[in-house]
Amino acid sequence: MYLTNATDISCFGLRRSGNHAIINWIIRQNNGNFVHLNDVKVYKDKDPYKSFSQANIGGINPLIYHQDNWKWQRYFKYLMNSKTEYLYGRNSVTLDREKLRKYALKKLLIHSYEHYDLSDAMMPWFEERREEFLGKSQRRFDLLIIRDPYNNFASLIKKEEGRNLSKNPEAIIKKWIEHAKEYLGLSNYFKNRISISYNEWFVNKAYRQKITEALG
């Protein structure tokens, strides 16, 4: 199989734990093209390219993956600015997912998973079919993002006010403890883990630099 991705990053964290801020920061550190498959629904479909909530694509010629007549308008924008980014929703019919999947070389592929039990998100069947779903990667990292429980829970309750999520605090606490154990090395779900504290990342420039160096 040919090389599809220079860097493949899977990202895990609870909602409101700083996932999007850190992922966007990583994308901005990247000097080349990228694909971000956001909020992949692992219970909906095994394939991240089919079960994302939103795809953000930057620096790739839209003629490769866009399917309707607007692709020419997007192409001309791309010619004027090769870093142009486009968003696609889960049910988008204008995105050719197979062509995007097979496109090489993606400098950066990120697929993110929010609010899952880690044991569910990292089931063996996914590892067995990883190259089938995502293509062959030169380097791979598994990011685990954690935020202090007080601010994480408060943000969740405020954001999810009126929804079932705020009515089941025991489940939220259980998920946070599972993530914390992995962060501390008390469990080992990930082969290529880089653990990130959102609190430390937010305030500490040296800490951010250390993450940048770890990701190469």
Non-local CB neighbours of 34 within 8 Å, separated by 6+ positions:
27, 56, 57, 58, 59, 106, 107, 108, 109, 110
Residue 137 scores a pLDDT above 80: yes
- Model confidence pLDDT, tens digit, residues 64-81: 999 998 999 999 999 999
CA 52, CA 49: separation in Å to the nearest integer?
6
Inter-CA distances, 86 with 59, 123, 152, 167, Å: 9, 31, 30, 36
- Model confidence pLDDT, tens digit, residues 33-65: 999 999 998 876 779 999 999 999 999 999 999
pLDDT of residue 162: 46
Cα R_g (the chain), whole angstroms: 18
CA 99, CA 72: separation in Å to the nearest integer?
17
CA 132, CA 66: separation in Å to the nearest integer?
22
CA 163, CA 157: separation in Å to the nearest integer?
9
- Model confidence pLDDT, tens digit, residues 98-110: 999 999 999 999 9
Nearest-CA neighbor of 145 among 11, 9, 25, 8? 11
Domains of the chain from N-terminus onward: 3-215 (3.40.50)
pLDDT of residue 38: 97
The residue type at 64: I
Residue 166 scores a pLDDT above 60: no
